[in-house]
Amino acid sequence: MTAEPAPNRKTIIDDDTELVQAINAGRTERFPELVRRYEQKLYNFGRRMCRDESDAEDLVQDTFLNVYRYLKDFRYETKFKNWLYRVAANTALKKRRRSKFAPEPELSLEELVWREEAVASEEVPQWARMPLEQLLNEELLGTLHQAIWSLPEKYRIVTILRDIEEFSTDDTAQILNLSPANVKVRLHRARLFLRDKLKGHFGHDV
Amino acid sequence: MMCESHDHLHCLELFSKLSEYIDGEMDEAQRRQIEAHVAECVACFACLQSLKQTIALCKQTGRQTVPEVFSEKLQTMIQDIQRAR
């Protein structure tokens, strides 16, 4: 049965609406179409969230299972893609909560500022001046992936959504159920953290 | 972030807003304040440029293709749950 939007709520029509409505109307044989449409994006989201490839695959699998289970609850009040990423984000964060690891540390702006003061550069570092095509190589990408994986999860997920998947601040806030201000704070700290790691990669050329 | 010609606290205050500036999420007055400051303060300018480059690099991390075996596994999983209902 199709989930009808509540009265007086804005209905969002996007490229996925027809397919989602069809599945919710009982044409579940079209669900594999939805999987094919988003498997690539979710796989990459998973690979960036999880260092281990099999964890990434589990995340994608569990996300699609949850989408299959809860699609009927989708109210067409957000873009379907945002709802899908919300399911993926919740699935990822739940996995973390179930794991044996200790709570993740906060990234303190004061700490990042302190580090900045210690190494403040009076000129733009060479790596920040070079064209990207000259700068990019496998080693640098490896460093960047490691740096993203070493971000505490709540910062990592914001970085992935904003700077890699290129969701807007408002969409990211909606996906993660945070305020836009909170998204901005987390993103700024995460970017400073990644910049520190890149500085380390380029050694003394800070 | 220290610069001799500027109030150090001002640098620190701007430091927390650089991402909003880069993302174009500031009002006009704040944007002009940042631009005026980085035009004078080399340390803040250097910080801004390296932050911009960090973001640009993140956008270049590329996409991996889903392994065919995994894609097939997903389709099988869906078929299984559909059969079970």
pLDDT tens track for B36-71: 989 988 888 988 999 999 999 999 988 899 999 999
Q: What residues in B contact A128, CB-CB < 8 Å?
A: 46, 49-50, 52-53
Q: What is the pLDDT of residues A120-158, one digit of tens each?
A: 566 788 899 999 988 889 999 999 999 999 999 999 999
Share of chain B above pLDDT 70, in %: 89
pTM of the model: 0.88
CB within 8 Å: A48 and B45: no
CB within 8 Å: B78 and A187: no
Nearest to A120 among B1, B20, B51 (CB): B1
Q: What residues in B contact A40, CB-CB < 8 Å?
A: 63, 65-66
In chain B, which residue's Cα lies nearest the Cα of A187? B19
Mean pLDDT of chain B: 87
Mean pLDDT of chain A: 88
Nearest to B74 among A35, A135, A144 (CB): A35
Q: What is the pLDDT of residues A72-86, one digit of tens each?
A: 999 999 999 999 999
Min Cα distance B32 → chain A (Å) is 20
pLDDT band at A206 (very low <50, low <70, confident <90, very high): very low
pLDDT of residue A79: 95
DSSP sequence for chain A: ---PPPTTSPPP--TTHHHHHHHHTT-GGGHHHHHHHHHHHHHHHHHHH-SSHHHHHHHHHHHHHHHHHHGGG--SSS-HHHHHHHHHHHHHHHHHHHSSPPPPPP--HHHHHHHHHHH--SS--HHHHS-HHHH--HHHHHHHHHHHHHS-HHHHHHHIIIIIS---HHHHHHHHT--HHHHHHHHHHHHHHHHHHHHHHTTT--
